[in-house]
Structure 1
């Protein structure tokens, strides 16, 4: 299968961060804003570094540095050359990457691996022509798994969200919560624990593994979920263009053929899927509420409203047929999911 050739790398690199293969390896600096134990830092970046060393025969490695800049400043950090590589969440910079919201819409039938692979295919077919991330070397596009609602008090139905103060991510997640009648509080994910501890919010929308990655079980122990999630989060893995250009043609070719694009997008998505699954299994049954059939239908109507709003924004900003792109992503997600 597509991911079989790199699955062993995930296992062998789960605790590896930046081990040099040779004494004179080119060492890239990776900036991450997530906590040290978050799955991206504990598993995804180490797997990427291991793969980087493998395909370049030890000529290139990387070291992971945390806390260099807040989440919304990561792209500028790499643009300025203060770091070589980072991942960004598109929702933290509203309006800067409008087409990214198409990957965030609720309703996709597949996990993070399938959606991330489909997202990259949509980039190649549609989004690249909009100039999305042209100022960087774009290494991957990733969409996390279904977003859920974590809450301080138990939420038993969709109607209970109305009037709640909910931390929202920006992008589609913010629009969905607004349509549900929640008051949105926008803070980056790494500030969620602090926000909930201070009782400044009643809940938070994030993907499932955030319960562990951001210690939400301590401050928002209850979870309310809808099939397919309230939204998906859109991320990009970016590299400084000048740093990329400084690598030898042979190294660039190896990275492009064996890492860049769908391979890395799906690798990160797969790691996230596995983390979501582990965390979901650990949630006490009394703390988990799944949407009723009535609520699923009600949320479908909300999703349609949000989707139409996003289509209009994307078309105005890019000229794309936004519904066509969304449908392509949906079709490719199902296709990839069926191949796994």
Structure 2
């Protein structure tokens, strides 16, 4: 063997040895995700923005495959699908699981943003709640700061003190509103979101409880001509993950998901404060009339609303009630 051949052989051996100790590049992790909302609804669009943000931050490490909404898995079954690992991630209202997690009422009765509550330790408590109640990992509480209103097809009766009397009216409801609507004299009617348009069209319901954000998404504003102010409660929208899947992720992937979640909590809050103002101008310009409760009647109206959420939580016997109240409620 010539000197040049020996040198070439040695160099090849060194190269192969070096390649042998270079670790194989980790394969990009893809998480399957669903939402509780149909694509046209603003909240589904918000989750898509979170997905896009995460996928940009997680290139080469972790990606989210947004599979869709109720057409993929019916909303009441989505948490179980996460628990069983059918999907890895889900976004939707926490109040779907009030039976397992009465503490979600802390989000409903919250008067602070998700970012503020996180700083005060509230989010950490809710992570423990989700782990115990759903066996899921709570990643984020996004789209906070969006309150609810009562919308009606006809002008409501007023009380002598300037409040509203909804006696005899049928309102499309859900568990978080029920006690409050009853206190106002209304009858609660359960109607799935996709059927609300028809229920309004046929007079099955006289109004709905819904955030100002998204009131136009499903064309309900065609029938809803009156809005009662002030708004009450807050959205309870959470991103959860299968706990085993979360625990199996490399630290880099978990760090990316956590960073995206914390940042998007604030981004979504700021975004929707602007959307609320813009939507308010639009619906009023299109003819929606605002029934504004003022003075002492306003205070009583809000106290009545928020007290129903915190009373439910208190009566549930949750060990976290006082801690959550301290973190989420400042009225």
- For residue 117 of structure 1, report the CA deviation from its aligned partner: 1.9
SS at match of 1:213: coil
Report if the CA contact (8 A) 2:108-2:309 is conserved: no
| Length-normalised TM-score, structure 2 | 0.78
- For residue 303 of structure 1, report the CA deviation from its aligned partner: 3.6
Report if the CA contact (8 A) 1:120-1:141 is conserved: no
Aligned pair 1:169/2:174, yes or no? yes
Judged with a 3 Å threshold, the aligned counterparts in structure 2 of structure 1 residues 294 and 163 are, in CA distance, closer, same or farther, namely farther
1:288 and 1:221 map into 2 onto residues whose CA distance is 9
Structure 2 residues without counterparts, runs of 5 or longer = 1-26
Report if the CA contact (8 A) 1:103-1:326 is conserved: no
Judged with a 3 Å threshold, the aligned counterparts in structure 2 of structure 1 residues 268 and 127 are, in CA distance, closer, same or farther, namely same
| Aligned residue number for residue 32 of structure 1 | 35
| Aligned residue number for residue 138 of structure 1 | 138
1:309 and 1:253 map into 2 onto residues whose CA distance is 37
| Length-normalised TM-score, structure 1 | 0.76
| Aligned residue number for residue 232 of structure 2 | 230
- For residue 125 of structure 1, report the CA deviation from its aligned partner: 5.1
- For residue 93 of structure 1, report the CA deviation from its aligned partner: 3.2
| Aligned residue number for residue 327 of structure 2 | 328
| Aligned residue number for residue 280 of structure 2 | 280
Judged with a 3 Å threshold, the aligned counterparts in structure 2 of structure 1 residues 276 and 323 are, in CA distance, closer, same or farther, namely same
Q: Provide the aligned C-alpha RMSD in A.
A: 2.7
| Aligned residue number for residue 71 of structure 1 | 75
- For residue 251 of structure 1, report the CA deviation from its aligned partner: 1.6
Structure 1 residues without counterparts, runs of 5 or longer = 1-23, 109-113, 335-340
1:118 and 1:29 map into 2 onto residues whose CA distance is 30
Which string of whole-angstrom CA distances, capped at 9 and with x for unpartnered residues, describes residues 222-268 of structure 1? Answer: 21111xx2322312211122333343332223323x124x3333333
Report if the CA contact (8 A) 1:34-1:190 is conserved: no
Judged with a 3 Å threshold, the aligned counterparts in structure 2 of structure 1 residues 56 and 301 are, in CA distance, closer, same or farther, namely closer
| Aligned residue number for residue 254 of structure 2 | 252
Larger gyration radius, structure 1 or structure 2: 2
Aligned pair 1:123/2:126, yes or no? no
- For residue 71 of structure 1, report the CA deviation from its aligned partner: 2.3
